[in-house]
Amino acid sequence: MKENIILTKKGKSVSGTIHLTGSKSECNRALIIEALSKGKVKVENISDAADTVTLLEVLTQKSEVGSQHSELKTQDLRLVNIGPAGTAMRFLTAYFSFQDEEVILTGSERMKQRPIGILVNALRDLGAHIEYVENEGFPPIKINGTLGNQQKEKINIKGDISSQYITALLLIASTLPKGLILHIDGELTSRPYVEMTLSMLRQAGIQHQWIGNSIHIPHQEFKQTSLPVEPDWSAASYWYSIAALADEAELFLPGLTAYSLQGDSVITEIMANFGITSQFKDGGVHLKKEPKPLGRKIFDLKSCPDLAQTIIVVCAALGHEATFTGLETLKIKETDRVKALQNELAKIGVKLIEKGQVYKLDCSEKFIPEKIFIHTYDDHRMAMAFAPLALLISEIEVEDYMVVEKSYPAFWEDLKKVGFEYNLIK
């Protein structure tokens, strides 16, 4: 049963220390690498994000029959239900394509609406045997890894689609008998996520060449090593948002470094525009709010789309009529995030106007209500992007508050540590 919460905050200052969970993006890559390495690679600081827990259960075959993320085994056919875990869906599609077993990979109703055709076509070109169980181009899919036999060494894939498709292919590349030459057609969206993947593979002993638009990973063995997972910069972004909306803010986030593999660490540069300084010392990052007039008007979020909701909500709340680009992938996430933002921002009188691939905020009719109800659309980032508005709005009711478990289970408890309060509504 879904439960809502009422979120409030007395005063407009925040201070404290927040220990963030491990990066979901890093951890999910590391777990696939660990599985492919046959035990040579060990993952340290595993995230407690629900998506990561689900992926770990599948890879270690520990799911209970009939559980939310049920994994049933009947004869030689295994049904793997990853629920709403989009990263797991993409990574496991590639992973199972050349494993010695047959599986049906499925997920939540929303997952069945999220396209997988581009990745499936690429894997089929390599020699994978994948069939659609219900609708062409969408999960669930039936993968017969026992029949997988590499047909090609070089394949093409579009660059302006989800980077998770590209990462899924790169993760399995070194285990393919002929290796892989992946040619990226057009401009690459979310480049930092691809760079993260290649960097983690390098840490595990897998070398690559990236020349022009082609990435070449030969067949090679993983080395004995450990992959430490850094705290989650995506989770950190909500604390930058809180600092930006507060009158005064001094926060410390241990474990984060200035030289992160995570593309979302760019939040330090983006939030500097809102007067938030980031000082790396004492084994983490210190955030501080300093008076600064808003100047930057255009934000290109192509390389960090998971920060879009956070930054757009902050701009809207501050009445900053900014323009945004690079939001193309938002429509195929946990929900259509563009439409969800438009719906919820309308509740404070702000319009997010779409013109082609450019989005502009119109804050001319912005107002701050006493109370507001936020729909989350089964999207963890909608809940966490709008929660900081409790600094400006007396009472916020957030729908289905447990949705944050997908990436940041401790979010609400962490808010309490800096003076937010919440009450459950059943």
Query: Which residues are designated catalytic?
Result: 306
Query: Which of these, 186, 29, 25, lies nearest to 94 by C-alpha position?
Result: 29
User: CA 28, CA 50: separation in Å to the nearest integer?
Assistant: 11
Non-local CB neighbours of 74 within 8 Å, separated by 6+ positions? none
User: CA 52, CA 26: separation in Å to the nearest integer?
Assistant: 10
Q: What's the chain's length in residues?
A: 426
Q: How many CB atoms lie within 10 A of CB 209?
A: 10
User: CA 425, CA 373: separation in Å to the nearest integer?
Assistant: 12
15: helix, strand or coil: strand
Which amino acid, one-letter code, is at 223? Answer: K
Per the DSSP assignment, residues forming a β-bridge with 360 are 323, 353
Dihedral sign, Cα of residue 285, residue 289, residue 295, residue 301:
positive
Q: How many CB atoms lie within 10 A of CB 355?
A: 8
Which amino acid, one-letter code, is at 399? Answer: E
User: CA 242, CA 389: separation in Å to the nearest integer?
Assistant: 8
Angle between helices 163-173 and 86-97 (to 10 degrees): 30
**DSSP codes, 77-142:** EEEEE-TT-HHHHHHHHHHHHTSSSEEEEE--TTGGGS--HHHHHHHHHHT--EEESSSTTSS-EE
User: CA 303, CA 317: separation in Å to the nearest integer?
Assistant: 23
374: helix, strand or coil: strand
| 87 contacts 58 by C-beta, under 8 angstroms | no
Distance of CA 173 to the CA centre of its chain: 22
